[in-house]
Amino acid sequence: MPNQQDQNGLLDRPLVLPCGAVLKNRLIKSAMSDSLGDGAGNATAPQARLYEKWAEGGVAFNVVKRHSAPKGALCVCREAR
């Protein structure tokens, strides 16, 4: 259902990336500091819970630092081209 900000319903439509991966919608959360890491670059349980909450909120693509991506996550980088 389109809202006033998205008259054509584009945000709810799937998006096919050049690599063939399909995003369920066009909502993307940019990388940001969450201050929940362990100080050595390793993810923590509270950090994992935060990213789970963001995923449950409907975001299709969550940009994170390379070392914070969970195993099996879609990674888009220059080396992957």
pLDDT tens-digit readout, 29-57? 887 777 787 888 788 899 888 888 888 88
Evaluate whether 68 touches 36 at the Cβ level (below 8 Å).
no
pLDDT at 69: 58
User: Would you state the pLDDT for residue 72?
Assistant: 65
Decide: 70 and 44 in contact? Cβ < 8 Å.
no
Averaged confidence pLDDT in the chain: 77
Q: Is residue 2 part of a domain?
A: no
Which residue has better confidence, 3 or 7?
Answer: 7
5 belongs to a structural domain: no
Domain residues for 35? 10-80
Answer whether 20's CB lies under 8 Å from 33's CB: no
Looking at residue 54, its amino acid is W
Classify residue 16: in a domain, yes or no: yes
Residue of higher predicted confidence among 3 and 24:
24
Global pTM reads: 0.55
Place of tokens 């099996």: 72
The whole-number pLDDT of residue 16 equals 92
Q: Domain count for the chain, please give it.
A: 1
